[in-house]
Structure 1
Amino acid sequence: MRTKLISDIHNRLGLKSVSSTYVQLYINDEFMGLYIFNDDYKLSWIEEVYGEKNTKNLYKCDYMYDLLPEYSFGCSNENEEEINNNSEWIEFLTAVKNAKSATDLEDIFEIDHFLYEMAIDYLTGAYDHIQNTHNYYMYKQPNGKWIYLSYDFDHDFGQDMGFLRSSITNTIRDIHLMEVLIFNDSSGFEKILSEVVSKVFNPAILYPYIDEIKKYIKPYVILDKIKDTNGNYPGSINSNSDYDHFTLEQWDAYSEFTNGYSDRESYGLKYWILIKYRYVCDYYHLECDSTYLDENFQYSIKNIIINNDDDDDDIKQYNDYKSDTIISDEVQSESTQSDLLDTLDDDIPIEIDESIVIEDESDSDNDDDDDNDEYSVVNIISNEYHKNYY
């Protein structure tokens, strides 16, 4: 859900970005589960979006401590034929190092695009990109300007507990580019931040969209929670894994106002949006919707039981009761398999928008034996409404 939302926020703002959709994966007719399907910033993506074939200047950044020439090795050229030709990359990093203000970079860097990305990161509590030295690309466009391209959004949107009530200057580390474009003069960032809040990062926009996504994918989520005759979930190959699957109730609650735990403590989606919206509106003196600024705005928080035992020790609750109004405090137990099937019958019918068959051609010895050929089927379940909603 988080990856899909971040991708669609980019699309709504008209930013260059990857897109995401939901797919069902089958391998040799065996259902392997529900997955998120993402674009990637490869040479083919550049050719599709920009019309430039075999670009020489697309860099993937895996460990870039700062955008400075002394750390140039932290990003690698995606064009293998140009792997040792980094003169333009070094030239750009040197210009960043020497920059004192935005004026020094406006002819060689897409400043507004970068500030939009930083506004999205700030509003969604994202830290796992430039601030964590990775998960972004740098590309020199045909117009001569470099552009920052962010990806991998699974740890965004309330996955870091420390960023909910804090200003931008208290949530970003000391990176020279941040110093030049935000710390020294925050007016450009604050203008873009206000636009992002007005256009997309507000409950009036995001709440109904979350509801639409949940309604649409719920039948597929239910199928993902149904065990096979051996008691295994779809796609669960490693029997020694200690991964604990979310129940359907947890999936539903954590996308609302209930804070919980995945691989870390994290906020419910709607809870994060509400509290961050209130903080940003107040701190940056923005004109915002009084409905959601009202401290008496009510919503429901649920306790989630991790398994079917009734022991109170199994109840996990990470909500801040002191600062927020709560309608109800319900205890939800894990659905049985029959419950899930009954729920599926009551939901909207499953529709497949497109199917892609991927054959394994690695074993040439079996080319004449079609029965032994391995293949995968990816069912793309996103429909046109969700492709175009944002």
Structure 2
Amino acid sequence: MKTFFIEMSKKDLKKLHQNIWEEIYVDALLTIDDKRYDIKIGLRGNQLRKRKKKSYHIIFQQPYLVEGHHEIHLNAEYNDPSLMRNKLSFDFFQQIGVLAPSSKHIQLAINDKYEGIYLAIESFDQYYLKRRNLPEGSIYYATNDDANFSLYTPAGTLKKSLMDGYTTKYLFQGAEHLKKLLVIINTYPKEKFGEEMRNVMDIEKYLLWLAGVVCTQNFDGFIHNYALYHNSKTQLFEISPWDYDGSWGRNLHGEPLDLEFVPIRGYNTLTARLLENEQYKQMYRKILEKILQEYFIPSNIQPQIEEMQYAILPHYKEDPYINYKKKTFKNEKTFILQFIEKRNRFLMEQLEILT
């Protein structure tokens, strides 16, 4: 496991930690494997900014790109006793054919103070596309719960703008594509909706993503914690997951979730409308059934869990912010595998709802 060494002035470090709700970035130096990089660094995330163990957003300055990356995210994984739910989720989405960021566990030190185990996550941006030889395209982040594909907020009030809930990460051909998508979702009648959606969204990839969210039981994933990519070659939207520490049987606070908490149909306006269409509903059923039979099973996930635990375990006790016992960490393997087995059985029984 690599160690990231970050150096910055004491004044700048104090500024970051005293102004946790402000989007402040300071100059710093990052060293990895004896290679040094000039960076900007700021805090990231929302729920965990008050915690002692912070999550960070790194932007490379000199050089501008490092192994094809301009940005990386360092997640503290503070409320996840396994320290692996995010990575397990991203790897799972990649397995089933959904665009998802790659990630790896690292150790972090800031000004010679050991900060513990982190998950380094690649940014979903234009450079993500280049590294995978994907066509250029606009990228939008779903930055709050208003990104529910509706004209109304989750509280039921009319949005001020179609773009409420979204932050533009990279603009390639203008935001009209996203506005058009939202108009179709919210205004087209049932008889025109199914046909028109084929022209604006990759339906199969959306349903693969939906199945992934339903399996991993990420409650926030339907109206938050995702990115939209408009593929300039196909002219279709694709969707990618983000921030999945609240998954695999626990919520974002690390508390266990009931198996029934996330329904098989998921929730958000787009999903509801797609599953009203008989063709798309049956497509989703087949996709989900295949995933439940081949991917979302203990025998597929167990080797990944064991590989991550093997890498993390030698450094586990050194993390100054982990206040639970090593036994708790080890037991998460059993917890996650039992969740998969029970959730799989539950969803298999629920497939009848989609017939």
User: Fold match, TM over 0.5?
Assistant: yes
Which residue matches 1:204?
Answer: 299
1:125-274 superposed matches below 5 A: 125-130=217-222, 133-142=223-232, 143-160=234-251, 161=256, 163-165=258-260, 168-169=263-264, 172-173=266-267, 175-185=268-278, 186-224=281-319, 233=320, 245-256=323-334, 268-274=335-341
Report which stretch shifted further, 12-21 or 64-73. 64-73
Report which stretch shifted further, 67-76 or 106-115. 67-76
Q: Deviations over 1:283-317 (max 9, x none)?
A: 337xxxxxxxxxxxxxxxxxxxxxxxxxxxxxxxx
Q: Is the 8 A contact 1:167 1:283 kept in 2?
A: no
Counterpart Cα distance in 1 of 2:225 and 2:140? 11
Determine which of 163, 171, 177 is the counterpart of 1:72.
163
Q: Is the 8 A contact 1:99 1:105 kept in 2?
A: no
Determine which of 178, 186, 210 is the counterpart of 1:89.
178
**TM, length-normalised to structure 2:** 0.63
User: Is the partner of 1:67 in helix, strand or coil?
Assistant: coil
Determine which of 80, 102, 122 is the counterpart of 2:214.
122
Distance 1:280 1:88, change over 3 A: closer
In the alignment, structure 2 segments of 5+ residues that lack a partner are: 1-83, 152-160
Determine which of 284, 296, 304 is the counterpart of 2:351.
284
Counterpart Cα distance in 2 of 1:247 and 1:58? 41
- How far 1:151 moved relative to its partner? 0.7
Q: Is the 8 A contact 1:125 1:157 kept in 2?
A: yes
CA RMSD of aligned residues (A): 2.6
Determine which of 184, 199, 203 is the counterpart of 1:107.
199
- Structure 2 residue identity aligned to 1:12: Q
In the alignment, structure 1 segments of 5+ residues that lack a partner are: 225-232, 237-243, 257-267, 286-390
Q: Deviations over 1:314-341 (max 9, x none)?
A: xxxxxxxxxxxxxxxxxxxxxxxxxxxx
- How far 1:136 moved relative to its partner? 1.3
Distance 1:49 1:212, change over 3 A: closer
Which residue matches 2:142?
Answer: 61
Q: Deviations over 1:192-230 (max 9, x none)?
A: 101111221012212233223222321122332xxxxxx
- Structure 2 residue identity aligned to 1:275: K
Counterpart Cα distance in 1 of 2:111 and 2:207? 45
User: Is the partner of 2:214 in helix, strand or coil?
Assistant: helix
- How far 1:99 moved relative to its partner? 5.8
Distance 1:141 1:251, change over 3 A: same
Greater percentage in strand: 2
Which residue matches 1:275?
Answer: 342
Counterpart Cα distance in 2 of 1:272 and 1:124? 9
| Residue 3 in structure 1 maps to residue 86 in structure 2 | yes
Q: Is the 8 A contact 2:259 2:342 kept in 1?
A: yes
User: Is the partner of 1:15 in helix, strand or coil?
Assistant: coil
Q: Is the 8 A contact 2:97 2:205 kept in 1?
A: no
Counterpart Cα distance in 2 of 1:44 and 1:209? 27
Which residue matches 2:123?
Answer: 40
**TM, length-normalised to structure 1:** 0.58
Q: Is the 8 A contact 1:125 1:163 kept in 2?
A: no
Greater C-alpha radius of gyration: 1
Q: Is the 8 A contact 2:147 2:166 kept in 1?
A: no
- How far 1:94 moved relative to its partner? 1.4
Which residue matches 2:109?
Answer: 26
Aligned length: 249
Distance 1:281 1:81, change over 3 A: closer
- How far 1:3 moved relative to its partner? 1.0
- Structure 2 residue identity aligned to 1:278: R
Q: Is the 8 A contact 1:22 1:35 kept in 2?
A: yes
Q: Is the 8 A contact 1:17 1:149 kept in 2?
A: yes
- Structure 2 residue identity aligned to 1:168: P
Q: Is the 8 A contact 1:128 1:156 kept in 2?
A: no
